[in-house]
Amino acid sequence: NRAQEVRNVVGAIRKKFPDQARTHTRVYRPWGSFTVLETQPTHVVKRIEVLPGGKLSLQSHNHRSEHWTVVQGTAEVWCDNERVMLEENHSIFISQGRRHRLANPGEIPLIVIEVQTGDRLDENDITRYEDAYGRC
């Protein structure tokens, strides 16, 4: 029985790479996916891929701000009641507490690099107001 050997290997990986063992690097959502590139106490860096026609929920965060930089495609960003279109190599800052949404109106995948900063950097710091995929 090699099950104990597998448990030992998993235990060793958890000790050496605790962040990676706790969360999957790439997480799939109905609108696309995100990949966690770096996790530190002061910030989290993600690569967000939004499929053509996809959009994230209208949401806010109480404990973090987000910086978004478009690296591929065109982003439609709603921040409070303001609509901003961002092309490649353009960015926007979303301060904590502001209602915001990211959408891909284009025909190719939208790729955004997100840098989160704040005093709580986890996926539970989210309030959803509207969601096209029934997650409110």
- Nearest-angstrom CA–CA distance, 80 and 67: 15
| pTM reported for the whole predicted model | 0.81
Is 45 inside any structural domain?
yes
Is 3 inside any structural domain?
no
In total, how many domains does the chain have?
1
Is 61 inside any structural domain?
yes
Is 12 inside any structural domain?
no
What is the domain-level CATH number for residue 69? 2.60.120.10
Partnered with residue 33 across adjacent β-strands are 28, 49
Tokens of 28: 């799939």
Is 16 inside any structural domain?
no
- Nearest-angstrom CA–CA distance, 54 and 76: 10
Q: For residue 66, what pLDDT band results from cuts at 50, 70 and 90?
A: very high
Indicate if the pLDDT at residue 73 is higher than 70: yes
| Backbone torsions φ then ψ of 48, nearest 5 degrees | -105, 130
Is 125 inside any structural domain?
yes
Which pLDDT value is given to residue 63?
Answer: 97
Residue 51 DSSP SS3: coil
Q: For residue 106, what pLDDT band results from cuts at 50, 70 and 90?
A: very high
In which domain, by residue range, is 99 found? 24-130
